[in-house]
Amino acid sequence: MGAATQAFLEMLAAERGAASNTLAAYRRDLEGAEELIGDLAEASREDVARLAAAWADLAPATVARKGSALRQFFGFAVDEGWRRDDPSRALPSPRTRRPLPKILSHADVERLFGRAELEAQSGKPAAIRQLALLELLYGSGLRASELVSLPLSAVPRDAPLLTVIGKGGQARMVPVSERAREALARWLAVRSDAGDAKSRYLFPSRNKHLTRVRLFQLLKELALRAGLDPAGISPHVLRHAFATHLLEGGADLRVLQTLLGHADISTTQIYTHVDAARLVALVNARHPLARGAS
């Protein structure tokens, strides 16, 4: 890997607070490009244009991701004075349609929670923890990584808000519903019985915290017991359900952007795929001219 490329990765880590998985993905994409056209700091526009043929058999989303990594690198190289030109325009720009997120129906959510609440009645710490995790995923729209790494100190005492550290180390406040607060109180009452009582994490596991992989597994297993297709259940699907169901209830898109921790409103706009019939009914019921005609 070239010195400029390494410096770019170090910048991502130091200035943008990029996570290790993100850095690894950038490294793979940049190293792959350098294997094809050489040192990116010295690659010509013609060299960069050759990548289109090399990436021809890749999925459009993969090409878009690789191109994004290189565009950011070239911009950085120009800013640092390592290049006089930015050859990014020579990169292929596949047009990809962003897929709509998978969501759960209200009935599916009720079945999932019904099963979790039934199992929590056993008083077993694992079942109570499961309910608390579920309540925070769907009730507060947390990312899986944000949820499992919550420190014990983040649990609200009086204010119904939770402090979350999101992507890039950005902190935000998210609401905690009454149901979630009750589930958290039940979990805290038995948390010491689950081991790692001295851990600083809300959901401790093996001297650290519950992993995202284990959270994923727990939800799949719960879905199966609830009679739902496990393939349609994941932490991210519950986050999608949180966002979509709030929009259906009339939530403002800007408010939703804040709750989800999106830096760009365009990311939040993917959730505007609400039922067309509901929107028509809303216009007919709320528009001034519609009311005047009735």
Nearest C-alpha neighbor of 138 from the set 196, 200, 222: 222
Q: How far is CA 289 from the centre of its chain?
A: 40
Question: Distance between CA 202 and CA 78 in Å, rounded?
Answer: 44
For the chain, list the domains and their CATH numbers. Answer: 3-90 (1.10.150.130), 106-277 (1.10.443.10)
Residues 13 and 22 sit within 8 Å (Cβ to Cβ): no
Catalytic residue among 50, 65, 124, 167: 167
pLDDT digits (tens), the chain, 294 positions: 778 888 998 888 887 777 788 888 899 999 999 999 999 989 999 999 999 999 988 888 888 889 989 999 999 999 888 888 999 889 887 765 555 556 788 899 999 999 999 999 999 999 999 999 999 888 888 888 888 988 888 877 766 777 777 676 777 777 788 888 899 889 999 988 766 667 888 999 887 899 989 999 999 999 999 999 998 898 888 888 887 777 777 766 676 676 777 666 666 666 665 544 455 665 677 667 655 544
236: annotated active-site residue = yes
50: annotated active-site residue = no
Q: Tell me the pTM.
A: 0.59
Question: Distance between CA 162 and CA 154 in Å, rounded?
Answer: 6
What is the rounded (10 degree) CA torsion for 160, 165, 171, 176? Answer: -10
262: annotated active-site residue = yes
Catalytic residue among 115, 186, 240, 262: 262
Nearest C-alpha neighbor of 50 from the set 61, 65, 62, 40: 40
240: annotated active-site residue = no
239: annotated active-site residue = yes
Question: Distance between CA 220 and CA 28 in Å, rounded?
Answer: 30
Catalytic residue among 83, 129, 143, 186: 143
Question: Distance between CA 232 and CA 104 in Å, rounded?
Answer: 8
Residues 23 and 13 sit within 8 Å (Cβ to Cβ): yes
How many CA within 13 A on the CB side of residue 196? 14
